[in-house]
Amino acid sequence: MNAARCTACLFRFLLIVFIFLAFSQPAYAQESELKRADEFEKQVVNLYRQGKFAEAITLAKEAVKLRETALGPDHHLVASSLNNLAGLLQSTGDYAAARPIFERSLKIDEKALGPEHPRVATDLNNLAGLLISTGDYAAARPLYERALKIREKALGPEHPDVATSLNNLAGLLISTGDYASARLLFERALKILEKVLGPEHPKVATSLNNLAMLLESTGDYAAARPLYERALKIREKTLGPEHPSVATTLNNLAELHYSTGDYPAARPLYERALKIWETALGPEHPKVATSLNNLAGLLISTGDYAAARPLYERALKIDEKALGPEHPRVATTLNNLAGLLISTGDYAAARPLYERALKIDEKALGPKHPDVATDLNNLAGLLQSTGDYAAARPLYERSL
């Protein structure tokens, strides 16, 4: 049967630059409503970084109302607040609620600033990122391409924001399997950032991570490793050894070792990444859950099921609390935990986890999303293993 969804490579999308939390100061900030909105926006950023999404969403909604009252519904600062609110909703897995808000923000900025303004490019990137989350790559691609053209025209072909667009478009191409085209974009983005920002800038490290990720995806581990190692050195030097971005690179380098079967080299990197995220972000942040999932996956690969189970269980509790019980990342952890239970022969305990994961993904992502196909395969495999071939067959067929 098929194993649960891969753990060690989860959430690699963190490498793709996605910008929505950026604010502009209004010219008339002396007005009380605008001052309150500004303060709320600052709190929203802090709450987001702490993983306190529910509290952040409440304040983000208030900021939208305040700016609408003070400036009218079609002001570009209202669009900025809408972007923040939509981004938060996306972070909690509420894609249906986020989409019309991103779309409204885009319309406001196109009308207020013009269709070729850099802020419009940001709106397009955000909406495209949401569409990717729902698996709609065909709809996302023209948005990324339009954003790239806007930035090249407005900012010049070697601006760092152009590199961001190149990275985003390349990430989409990877998702559709077009590695050759993606590589060219990643390499161009890296050259831009090295030239404009210098070879040791943190954004260069991000670009190195992206290119390394692609090389790893194509099996070129030898070429990927020095890029990850260079990215790690840059981040440790510029951001400090305990910065969350250092943990991201440690996680990626650990994944490379994991992929090549070098578990002894991978484990301390995963463990160091986990400690950094726990210290920097708090023990209940979603990134801690990601790290727990990764470390648990490694432990399973070494046969240490007893040590892996509490990590998955802790990750599940974190994500349920921080993101809500119906977030796709909750489904991922349910799949991982169910896979562990199957490995230990506990099919009865695994089945309801697979069934719950399937329901979550169908609701959040739609019935034709690739993750739903994975869920169907997992559940069908369990049913097949228990001899229930009649129930397994339609699930396998639906997953095709």
Any domain includes 313? no
Alpha carbons within 13 angstroms on the beta-carbon side of residue 235 total 23
Alpha helices (H) along 242-388: 244-259, 263-281, 286-301, 305-323, 328-343, 347-365, 370-385
Sign of CA dihedral 338, 340, 342, 345: negative
190, pLDDT greater than 60: yes
Structural domain includes residue 147: yes
**Domain ranges, residue 29:** 1-155
The span from the CA of 292 to the CA of 294, in Å, is 5
Rank 18-22, 38-42, 155-159 by mean pLDDT and report only the highest. 155-159
For residue 361, give every residue at least 6 positions away whose Cβ sits within 8 Å of its Cβ, in sequence order, or none: 328, 331, 369, 371, 372, 375
Positive or negative: CA dihedral 110, 30, 60, 58:
negative
**Residue 101 forms part of a structural domain:** yes
96-to-5, 90, 93, 312 alpha-carbon distances in Å: 24, 9, 9, 28
Number of other residues whose CB lies within 10 A of the CB of residue 183: 17
385 closest CA partner among 356, 357, 344: 344
Q: What is the pTM of this model?
A: 0.84
Instruction: Indicate the range of 7-16, 48-57, 126-135, 156-165 predicted with least confidence.
Output: 7-16
User: Considering the domain boundaries, does residue 347 fall inside one?
Assistant: no
Q: Mean per-residue pLDDT for 76-87? A: 95
Which of these, 373, 371, 393, 397, lies nearest to 383 by C-alpha position? 393
**What is the domain-level CATH number for residue 95?**
1.25.40.10
Residue 18 pLDDT level (bands cut at 50, 70, 90): very low
- Dump pLDDT digits (tens) for 196-251: 999 999 999 999 999 999 999 999 999 999 999 999 999 999 999 999 999 999 99
Number of domains in the chain: 1
The helix or strand, by DSSP H or E, that contains position 200, with its residue range, turns out to be none
Q: Answer yes or no: is 384 within a domain.
A: no
pLDDT tens track for 102-154: 999 999 999 999 999 999 999 999 999 999 988 899 999 999 999 999 999 99
Domain contains 223: no
The answer as to whether 103 is a domain residue is yes
Mean pLDDT (the chain) is: 91
Q: Is 107 domain-assigned? A: yes
